[in-house]
């Protein structure tokens, strides 16, 4: 098992809109395709920071879910085109992490 810790920077003044889009569109769609979203966060001191955490059981599962989500017509036509209007994709940081034995996040 591993997680993706995904850190995004929103465009000026767009964080609220981005959070609403994530919570009403992106997260429900990804969950409907089998993704496990372990958390969604905003920066307390950075007004452009958005962080979320996804869990995968294996690399094979991650690849299968990526294809199901990102190759879908719904993503390509409805969700994907809106993303660059709210976040600066060039500043996205994705870190793969594994929980330690005592981690409560599993």
What's the pLDDT at 105? 86
CATH number for 2-97: choose from 3.50.50.60, 3.40.50.460, 3.30.70.100, 2.60.40.10.
3.30.70.100
Q: In what order do the strands lie in the sheet with 93-97?
A: 36-42, 49-56, 2-9, 93-97
What's the pLDDT at 83? 98
Q: What value does the mean pLDDT take over residues 53-78?
A: 98
- Predicted TM-score (pTM) above 0.85: yes
What b/e string do you get for 70-80 counting C-beta neighbours within 10 Å, with b at 16 or more?
eeeeebeeebe
Show me where the domains of the chain are located.
2-97
What's the pLDDT at 31? 98
CA-CA distance, 65 to 72, in Å (whole number)?
A: 11
Q: Is the pLDDT of residue 5 over 90?
A: yes
Residues 6+ away with beta carbon under 8 Å from 79: 25, 26, 29
18-51: per-residue pLDDT in tens? 999 999 999 999 999 999 999 999 999 999 999 9
Q: Is the pLDDT of residue 106 over 90?
A: no
Q: Residue 44 has what DSSP assignment?
A: S
What's the pLDDT at 71? 98
């Amino acid at each position: 098992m591993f997680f993706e810790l995904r850190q995004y920077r929103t465009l000026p003044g767009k964080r609220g809109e981005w959070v609403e889009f994530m919570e009403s569109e992106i997260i429900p769609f990804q969950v409907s395709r089998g993704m496990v979203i372990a958390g969604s966060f905003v920066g307390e001191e950075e007004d452009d920071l958005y962080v979320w955490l996804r869990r995968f059981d294996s690399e094979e599962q991650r690849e299968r879910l990526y294809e199901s989500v990102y190759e879908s017509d719904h993503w390509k036509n409805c969700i994907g085109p809106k993303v660059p209007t709210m976040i600066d994709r060039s500043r996205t940081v994705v870190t793969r992490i594994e929980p330690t034995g005592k981690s409560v996040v599993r």
